Amino acid sequence: MSVETASAVVAVKLDRERPRPLWVLPLQQFVYRQLMYVVLIQSFGTALTGARPRWHKLHRTGTAGANAPAVPGPRGVAKVSQSVGEGS
């Protein structure tokens, strides 16, 4: 842990920042390491049981630019192009 602390001190000195937040570094390293252990154990359990990961997939509608305002261009206000599937 001394190498990590030394590199953090060097980074703070090079950026000319205040060294005040460095006191939290050992606590952060301990918490981060424990969090990584939890993630490792969960993924190992998932691999052993053969469960598939659940992904939260967003439903896409394709209407993101439908209500977009007109964008001023070099020659005034440009017309917003039509969405795909609306025709020309």
In the numeric block, the tokens 């050992």 are attached to: 26
User: Taking a C-beta distance cutoff of 8 angstroms, is the pair 29, 4 a contact?
Assistant: yes
3-class secondary structure, 76: strand
Q: Read off the pLDDT of each residue in 64-88 and give the average, rounded to a whole number.
A: 60
Residue 22: burial class (beta carbons within 10 Å; 0-12, 13-18, 19+)? middle
What is the pTM (predicted TM-score) of this model?
0.42
Average pLDDT estimate for 53-81: 68
The mean per-residue pLDDT over the stretch 53-64 comes to: 76
Which of 76 and 75 is assigned the larger pLDDT? 75
